Amino acid sequence: MRLFGSKPALPADRRGEARRTVNARGVVSAAGLETVCVIVDLSDTGMRLRLDRSAALPAQVVVIDVAEGLAYEAALVWQKGQEAGLKQTGAKSLRGLAPARLAGRATPG
């Protein structure tokens, strides 16, 4: 029975790790697929993406955080329209994979 002013109980959060909002520019890459995305939120074990366009993601992808220079191998857990939830196994740095003269150029001023 519900009393006036009481709220229904919220469903338990099934995530094992706390997530943090990042709103970072990213790229999702897989065989035959490369699409721009926003990494909406991120935890040590998962992430939520907002894709630039509707595209069915395959079971395994690599998500690249452009600003941080990190690549995440990830498995698709759910997808609804342009949003997707992925389970990731950790980040690998992409720093040093491009010649220093091309990476992070400062503009003359």
DSSP 23-81: EEEEEEEETTEEEEEEEEEE-SSEEEEEESS-----SEEEEEETTTTEEEEEEEEEEET
State residue 106's pLDDT score: 47
Average pLDDT, the chain: 82
Q: What pLDDT is recorded for position 90?
A: 86
pLDDT at residue number 97: 66
pLDDT digits (tens, 9 = 90+) for 21-57: 889 999 999 999 999 999 999 999 999 999 998 889 9
Q: How confident is the model at residue 6 (pLDDT cuts 50, 70, 90)?
A: low
Whether 13 has a pLDDT exceeding 80, the answer reads no
